[in-house]
Chains A and B, each alone.
Chain A
Amino acid sequence: MIDPLTHATVDAPMLADTLSRFFQPDTLARILIEGLGKAAIYFIIAIGLTLVFGLMGILNFAHGAFAMVGAYIGGVIMVVALSSASGAFTRIALFIVVVAVVFALLTAAGSALEIKLVRPIYDRTPMYQILLTFGVGLILEELARIIVSSRGIQPEPTWSAAQATIPGFLSGPSDVLNSLFGVNIRGFYLFAIVSGAILAVAVYLFLTRTLYGLYIRAGSEDPEMVEALGIDVRKAFTIVFGLGTGLAAVGGVFLMWDPTWGPSVMLNLDVLLYAFVVVVIGGLGSFKGTLVAAVIVGVADSFTTWLFNTGIVAFSGLPEVTIFLLLVIALIIRPQGLYGVEEVGGH
């Protein structure tokens, strides 16, 4: 049998063996849980992108760069503050502090960026916004490359010292998952699922239970009408752009510990592409759509990574190809996305 991508011969007995392993409960559980872990991180990153587009109509091409900055800032703090003797509790506690610090820093930076650079071009065509945000992303990427290189760190593929700050019980198989499902899965993915769920609930409560959340949802539908009701929409724009930036950076902090990602300048474009795929499949501006699409992309990523790791497909780019295939299918079947509407709508 010939693999259509690599033109290599595929061993038929090995294929049968792989398929039988796939249908075993522990393999399915592993793919699902790892997929949900990845989905949690993709959701954290993509929700900021969809909020910014939903309210402001801006496709933020600097979003991946904010995740990259978050990963590097998180890595610097973790590497500097921890020693090899630091225990698991210290590592987890510091990680939580890092998440809070990175969120605060990048939310402030994003807000400043919106006021100083994005606000002056609201009245211009979308091309200006794309060029501006893409340019900001490239500048941040090159700055990161210069800074980390000057410190003797390889800007790519990943900064392994930062990845190594993960406590042992998260980098190895989880005892909890082993006792619950009898499967050996990295504890990190369970950690990501729990953290992602907490952040998703927090964002949901902000949008549905606070006055500013109400203004943001209303503004996603009709910002001019919100302004005509006496609300300063520009303030809401600044808050949402800041929050979106902060959430992307928090996603970056999680990617720092993710064994398949890690701090790298490549995060700028790689993360941006994943985030855009999630947002487009889910429907631009939709919270629910982003959540569902993140799960679809996360599980597809996990499944195709497993296919590569088991050797059934020798093409290392399979996860990326599959995800873009999903995007193409979604655009053909439902161009507005799973939960999108014809026009931009908050929901």
Chain B
Amino acid sequence: MSLLELEDVHTYYGESHILQGMNLTVEEGEVVALIGRNGVGKTTTLRSILQLTAPRSGSVRFRGEDLTGNPTHEVADRGIGWVPEDRRMFGYLTVEENLRVAIDPDQEVEPLRDEMFDLFPDLARFREKEARNLSGGQQQMLAIARGIVGDNELLLVDEPSEGLAPLIVEQVVEALREVSTETTMVLVEQNFPLAMDLADRFYLIDHGTVVESGPTEGVTADDERIQRYLAA
């Protein structure tokens, strides 16, 4: 049984048919990249998994349990974390408070929080700082920490390198690589070399459906299949 399975998922925004029969699987422990041009349905796939934009048909299964139609907070409670495209920090909350929101009330806060501070030492330094006052890279670290705190089993990461300076991107990539040793990950990333570097497998998406998939090893931007779908 796969950790995550999407089967013939159709998702709409109003009358716009975005996901047109999405099928994909994610095995425990792997990093899967979703690649494709802008607007092909990558972010919508993540939103459909979380039921933030609920599919009209098809199924999303996590550890064999159908998530379709469940409220988002229940889906997240099953152990699915989300690092959204524009980070979406709670800007007026401190770093500590941002993490506290993500920790289940039944869990002990300090050990989980300290674990994140060990992983991201910058966050420990700025723990009392409001998130809006952090740099872009620090905010991205916080978004990742918020996504994995509380032992989430699956992390959905959307465009983690977007808007960051190359040096900061390197730090974010290293952080994600470290997180991926313990957490299964679905990664949406426009930066093709970065996605291939981090992921074990990829799904190439076009018009809301998978057009190519396979291991990332040996796949380059020059690949004819990739060129056909990624070229603007």
Contact = CB atoms under 8 A, between A and B. Distances in A.
Interface of A: 211, 214-215, 217-218, 221-222, 224-233, 345-347
Q: Please classify how large the interface on chain B is, using the bins under 10, 10 to 19, 20 to 34, 35 or more.
A: 20 to 34
A232 B73 contact: yes
Contacts of A230: 73, 76-77, 102, 104, 150
Interface in B26-85: 50, 52, 71-73, 76-77, 82, 84
SS of A interface (majority): helix
A184 to B, nearest CB: 44
Contacts of A345: 91-92
Given A217-B97, A228-B73, 12 more contacts: A211-B100, A214-B101, A218-B90, A218-B101, A225-B90, A226-B101, A227-B52, A227-B76, A228-B72, A230-B76, A230-B102, A346-B92
A346 B130 CA distance: 12
A217 B100 CA distance: 12
Contacts of B72: 224, 227-228
A217 B146 contact: no
Contacts of B82: 228-229
Given A228-B72, A230-B77, A221 B101 contact: no
A224 B52 contact: yes
A123 to B, nearest CB: 12
B175 interface: no
Contacts of A221: 90-93
A150 B160 CA distance: 66
A56 B92 CA distance: 17
B88 interface: yes
Contacts of B166: none
A211 B91 CA distance: 17
Interface of B: 50, 52, 71-73, 76-77, 82, 84, 88, 90-93, 97-98, 100-102, 104-105, 146, 150
A229 B101 contact: yes
Contact of A222 (B76, B77, B88, B104): B88
A228 B91 contact: no
Contact of B50 (A217, A226, A228): A228
A218 B93 CA distance: 7
A347 B84 CA distance: 22
B135 to A, nearest CB: 19
A229 to B, nearest CB: 5
A347 B150 CA distance: 26
A213 B97 CA distance: 11
Contact of A229 (B91, B92, B97, B102): B102
Contacts of B71: 227, 232
A229 B90 CA distance: 12
A222 B72 CA distance: 14
Nearest to B101: A218
A224 B84 CA distance: 11
A228 B43 CA distance: 14
B93 A214 contact: yes
B73 A231 contact: yes
A227 B88 contact: no
Contact of A228 (B76, B90, B105): B76
A215 B105 CA distance: 11
| Most interface-central of B50, B84, B101 (chain A CB within 10 A) | B101
A218 B71 CA distance: 19
A172 to B, nearest CB: 45
Contacts of B150: 230
A233 to B, nearest CB: 7
Contact of A214 (B50, B76, B91, B97): B97
Nearest to A220: B92
B228 to A, nearest CB: 34
A208 to B, nearest CB: 9
Given A229-B146, A231-B101, A222 B90 contact: yes
Contacts of A215: 101
